[in-house]
């Protein structure tokens, strides 16, 4: 089955009424969890894992996806309104979202965050759907030289993030 056919089959499974209900339930739970600083989507999914043993596997995975995506949006709510990121992914939202809220444009900031989350998530899912087979083949070809190169590039990037302080960069690399 080609990528497009697989995507259409997955879409037909996902839009069944029961799976839509589980997706909505997961999104509501995730949004509430995202608003609460400290408890993230992974912790929530770990706590709810035993609950999903009785579910259809597809419904459980759809609910977990809803929890994850809902938490990513919920974290932006506290970032915009309270200047406190609910999730680590919402740290950047604090920079502009809270400024908009202070100027009386909190609704617009929340709307931009919701639309941006939806569009970026949709593009990411579509890209992953089409690129996953190629990425899997490339990952299987990774050996020790490639892993060493990735680690070296990561250390070089980290040294550039310190702003030119060599001692600070070396300490960060040694601890990491």
pLDDT in tens, 26-50: 999 999 998 887 788 888 999 999 9
pLDDT tens, 1-18? 577 788 888 889 889 999
Q: How far apart are CA 154 and CA 146, in angstroms?
A: 12
pLDDT tens, 47-79? 999 988 888 999 999 999 999 989 988 888 889
Q: Which residue has the tokens 């919920």?
A: 74
Q: How far apart are CA 63 and CA 61, in angstroms?
A: 5
Question: In 10 A of CB 35, how many CB atoms?
Answer: 21
pTM reported for the whole predicted model: 0.74
pLDDT tens, 73-102? 888 888 999 988 877 788 888 888 999 999
Q: How far apart are CA 151 and CA 11, in angstroms?
A: 38
Question: In 10 A of CB 77, how many CB atoms?
Answer: 21
Tokens (6 digits) for 27: 């999104």
State mean pLDDT over 161-174.
Answer: 74
Structure confidence at residue 1 (pLDDT): 59
Max CA-CA distance within the chain? Answer: 58
- How would you classify residue 70: left for phi > 0, otherwise alpha for psi between -120 and 50, otherwise beta? alpha
Give percent of the chain above pLDDT 70: 98
Structure confidence at residue 145 (pLDDT): 93
Q: How far apart are CA 20 and CA 133, in angstroms?
A: 27
With cut-offs at 50, 70 and 90, classify the pLDDT of residue 166. Answer: confident
């Amino acid at each position: 089955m080609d990528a497009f056919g697989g995507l259409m089959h997955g879409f037909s499974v996902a839009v069944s009424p029961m799976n839509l209900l589980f997706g909505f339930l997961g999104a509501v739970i995730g949004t509430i969890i995202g608003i609460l600083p400290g408890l993230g989507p992974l912790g929530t999914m770990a706590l709810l894992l035993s609950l999903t043993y009785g579910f259809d596997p597809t419904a459980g995975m759809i609910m977990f996806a809803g929890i994850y995506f809902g938490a990513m949006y919920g974290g932006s709510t506290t970032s915009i309104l309270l200047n406190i990121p609910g999730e680590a992914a919402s740290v950047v939202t604090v920079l502009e979202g809270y400024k908009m809220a202070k100027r009386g444009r909190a609704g617009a900031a929340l709307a931009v965050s919701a639309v941006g989350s939806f569009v970026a998530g949709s593009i990411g899912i579509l890209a992953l759907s089409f690129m996953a087979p190629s990425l899997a083949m490339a990952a299987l070809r990774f050996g020790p030289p490639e892993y060493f190169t990735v680690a070296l590039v990561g250390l070089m990037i980290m040294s550039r993030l310190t702003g030119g302080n060599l001692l600070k960069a070396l300490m960060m690399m040694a601890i990491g």
